[in-house]
């Protein structure tokens, strides 16, 4: 499962962050591409995850999990899926 974060490209957008994540996720599903986490150079060798560093990756994206965290410490998760 590819792991990516758009925050590296758009910075801390405060109240707009979650909306930007939803838009990026919908575009990833529509365009069959996983957006990159830019400036990710040295992954932690202990975390064996499928990072998408620096360049977008073509992929059939059917479902996306979005995790959002507020400055106050609240967390929310949203799962989006491609239409059948």
Domain ranges of the chain: 2-81
DSSP percent split of the chain into helix, strand, coil, nearest 5: 25, 30, 45
Residues in Cβ contact with 53 at an 8 Å cutoff, skipping those fewer than 6 apart: 36, 37, 38, 40, 41, 43
Predicted TM-score of the model (pTM): 0.87
Q: pLDDT tens for residues 13-60?
A: 888 999 999 999 999 999 999 999 999 999 899 999 999 999 999 999
Spatial separation of the C-alpha atoms in residues 15 and 45, rounded to whole Å: 33
Give CATH for domain 2-81. 3.40.47.10
């Amino acid at each position: 499962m590819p792991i990516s974060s758009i925050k590296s490209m758009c910075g801390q957008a405060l109240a707009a962050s979650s909306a930007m994540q939803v838009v990026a996720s919908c575009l990833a599903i529509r365009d069959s591409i996983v957006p990159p986490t830019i400036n990710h150079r040295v992954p932690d060798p202990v975390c064996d995850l499928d990072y998408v560093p620096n360049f977008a990756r073509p992929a059939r994206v059917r479902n996306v999990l979005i995790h959002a965290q507020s400055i106050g410490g609240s967390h929310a998760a949203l799962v989006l899926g491609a239409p059948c």
